[in-house]
């Protein structure tokens, strides 16, 4: 019985790894500058997020990648938000910042960067859906 649970857990881990490895990072190299350039050149917020997932280090370097994705996504909505919406967006970003603040290890810094990028992506999708734009 215990073996079955272990095998099921291993299968889930392997499936998760395969899902994340579905796309390889298309940057020229694994250097931070090449990856940031690749993210900045993405044609849309969603594509930038997909590339972020493919190129992530899983460590503190992801903060810089996440910032590029945030800016890419914010271009879709930030200028259109009214003050209460901007405050809500900033509040959601702060939630991400607090989520792992008491954890040690660079993987938690990466998780924070992903959380922030996901918030920006969510706002971008809402704005594009509401506006009917197809970026």
- pLDDT (tens digit per residue) in 71-119: 999 999 999 999 999 999 999 999 999 999 999 999 999 999 999 999 9
- Asked if residue 21 belongs to a domain, the reply is no
Model confidence band, residue 132 (pLDDT cutoffs 50, 70, 90): low
- Asked if residue 17 belongs to a domain, the reply is no
Whether 63 contacts 39, CB under 8 Å: no
Average pLDDT of the segment spanning 56-62: 96
- Asked if residue 37 belongs to a domain, the reply is yes
Q: Which residue has the tokens 């938690």?
A: 108
State the Cα–Cα distance between residues 38 and 90, nearest whole angstrom: 26
CA distances from 82 to 52, 85, 133 (A): 28, 5, 19
- Asked if residue 15 belongs to a domain, the reply is no
Whether 60 contacts 47, CB under 8 Å: no
- Asked if residue 123 belongs to a domain, the reply is yes
- Asked if residue 7 belongs to a domain, the reply is no
- Asked if residue 63 belongs to a domain, the reply is yes
Give the domain range for residue 85: 26-131
Q: Report residue 58 CA to chain centroid gap.
A: 11
- Please state, as a whole number, how many other Cβ atoms lie within 10 Å of the Cβ of residue 47: 15
Reading the block at residue 112, the tokens are 């924070």
Average pLDDT of the segment spanning 38-65: 97
Query: Which residues lie closer than 8 Å to 53 by C-beta, 6 or more apart?
Result: 20, 23
Tally the domains of the chain: 1
- Asked if residue 5 belongs to a domain, the reply is no
């Amino acid at each position: 019985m215990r073996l079955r649970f272990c095998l099921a857990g291993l299968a889930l881990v392997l499936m998760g790894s395969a899902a994340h490895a579905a796309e390889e990072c298309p940057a020229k190299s694994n250097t931070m500058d090449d990856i940031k350039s690749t993210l900045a050149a993405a044609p849309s917020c969603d594509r930038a997020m997909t590339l972020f997932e493919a190129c992530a280090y899983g460590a503190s370097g992801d903060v810089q990648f996440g910032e590029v994705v945030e800016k890419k996504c914010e271009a879709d909505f930030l200028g259109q938000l009214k003050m209460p919406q901007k405050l809500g967006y900033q509040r959601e970003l702060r939630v991400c910042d607090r989520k792992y603040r008491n954890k040690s290890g660079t993987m938690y810094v990466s998780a924070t960067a992903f959380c922030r990028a996901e918030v920006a992506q969510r706002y971008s999708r809402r704005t594009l859906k509401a506006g009917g734009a197809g970026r």
